[in-house]
Structure 1
């Protein structure tokens, strides 16, 4: 049976649009104990598009990082943060100066641990405003992570900042909120809606009511928590795919002691690298 020309064109366009949608995966270097070259080689071989890291402080490490990124054709997202040990005014200056150094490297994006849960609303807003100003000036995305200890340590307070700051863009690490609110937030979908709308990057770690990281996302006892996170992440991604072709995700299961350990020996109960690659695989399967 011959397919009408108009329908054929429609199917080609539909197929092409579907093919254009992509997930771009970044691997965390949290707990890295190898050289930049070895880490980037392993990351590339595992199927990642880039890495998410704190910018090195030592010159040689900076040079080694850049060389490894170039050699293995990996992108980079830099982490930045507010130094909570400093007085507010000094912390704001240091935060801004650090962001200015990072934008010169021209990363794919910058992800910030912004502010302090003990700062006032206006003090936290000052950090967000400084970052957003630099993002516009340099045309580099700067996102603010939902994170314990920061302005975004819980859902209601984050919502207040979103309402007051129209250009506030989030990195969603919802694992933090699972433990802060001691639930999988099943009954908070209405309050979550604006958070998900303003999410531009995801940290794919699975939390639960008693902690920010399940010990092994493949273990059957954590299926409910894993599925809840996947449901939330899928909603964000599919919404963003309506207006953009690429969405970025960092797999961010952490090492010991974020990864639970056995007593006395401090041996991790699961493999951090394996957990992160598993989350990448699950998301790729989910979003086909």
Structure 2
């Protein structure tokens, strides 16, 4: 099994696509994870830059804002097909809503499954606040009810939602780990989905807890004879990144933290890096 690392576009939107992809390539990432604009010119610039620097691409869907299910489904479908125009390796999808019923979220999972089979591109549903898989216990129920659903594991959100490091939710974690095909390697804690800086000793317990979860995913994915696991270090900019009051100055550097996380995991999982 190989592990490939992806750089989030999130937080670097001020850079042109060419400058961003050049920076990503020099940093040692294998690819980019990003949403795809509906604007044809921007989409062309994005594709040109990815091709120029020979970067792999993971598409990201998050535009799930409408509470009307039928409108929501239409927009979901539109954005998934838009991402597919750029030939993604897979799609990370913040699917559904926490206020939709299990049946409503199931309809979205089924729509994604149809598009995934049609395109032969995996759609991994993210464990994200405000989405269908927003909490560990709810996700376990939905995963058991929808056995074909694969996930992006971002357990930082579950820590925040449950105000814990999931000590009492081992069964839900086991279920999620078995379904994981993509990881967002952000470290969360009981009060937020992002620690201020994972390099700080104050967050050692949180970092080690997340590393243990990711280790289990690696072992499970390798044991299943999978060819690939993908990881995106996804520490975000302000307001995910804490900032100083009044100035909104971030207290740490997002780019440096994500680079640190990639290199930490490259070393930890070096036998899977070719």
Q: Is the pair's TM-score, using the shorter chain for normalization, greater than 0.5?
A: yes
Partners of 2:228 and 2:70 in 1: how far apart? 37
**1:79-118 equivalences in 2 (<5 Å):** 79-81=60-62, 83-118=64-99
**TM-score of the pair, normalised by structure 2:** 0.95
Q: How far is the alpha carbon of 1:82 from its aligned partner?
A: 5.2
Residue of structure 2 in register with 1:132 after alignment? 113
Whether 1:145 and 2:126 are equivalent positions in the alignment is yes
Residue of structure 1 in register with 2:266 after alignment? 284
Residue of structure 2 in register with 1:249 after alignment? 231
Partners of 2:38 and 2:227 in 1: how far apart? 34
Q: How far is the alpha carbon of 1:100 from its aligned partner?
A: 2.1
What is the CA deviation profile of residues 157-187 of structure 1, one whole-angstrom value per residue up to 9, with x for unaligned ones? 1111111111100000000001111111133
Deviates more, 1:81-90 or 1:26-35: 81-90
Q: How far is the alpha carbon of 1:94 from its aligned partner?
A: 1.5
Stretches of structure 1 that go unaligned for 5 or more consecutive residues are: 1-20
Alignment check: 8 A CA contact 1:69 1:75 kept: yes
Structure whose CA Rg is larger: 1
Whether 1:201 and 2:162 are equivalent positions in the alignment is no
Partners of 1:43 and 1:128 in 2: how far apart? 32
Partners of 1:81 and 1:128 in 2: how far apart? 14
Alignment check: 8 A CA contact 1:82 1:114 kept: no
What is the CA deviation profile of residues 177-224 of structure 1, one whole-angstrom value per residue up to 9, with x for unaligned ones? 011111111332233111100011000100001110011110110011
Residue of structure 1 in register with 2:202 after alignment? 221
Partners of 1:156 and 1:285 in 2: how far apart? 32
Partners of 1:86 and 1:35 in 2: how far apart? 33
Partners of 1:75 and 1:185 in 2: how far apart? 33
What is the CA deviation profile of residues 100-131 of structure 1, one whole-angstrom value per residue up to 9, with x for unaligned ones? 22223221011111111111111111111000
2:9 aligned to which of 22, 29, 35:
29
Alignment check: 8 A CA contact 2:156 2:187 kept: yes
Residue of structure 1 in register with 2:257 after alignment? 275
1:167 aligned to which of 148, 160, 166:
148
Whether 1:65 and 2:46 are equivalent positions in the alignment is yes
Residue of structure 1 in register with 2:160 after alignment? 179
Residue of structure 2 in register with 1:16 after alignment? none
Alignment check: 8 A CA contact 2:64 2:95 kept: no
SS of the residue 2:144 aligns to? helix
The verdict on how the C-alpha distance between 1:281 and 1:114 changes in structure 2, with shifts beyond 3 A counting, is same
Residue of structure 1 in register with 2:55 after alignment? 74
What is the CA deviation profile of residues 1-20 of structure 1, one whole-angstrom value per residue up to 9, with x for unaligned ones? xxxxxxxxxxxxxxxxxxxx
SS of the residue 1:241 aligns to? helix
Alignment check: 8 A CA contact 1:25 1:50 kept: yes
Residue of structure 2 in register with 1:51 after alignment? 32
The verdict on how the C-alpha distance between 1:81 and 1:257 changes in structure 2, with shifts beyond 3 A counting, is closer
Partners of 1:51 and 1:172 in 2: how far apart? 17
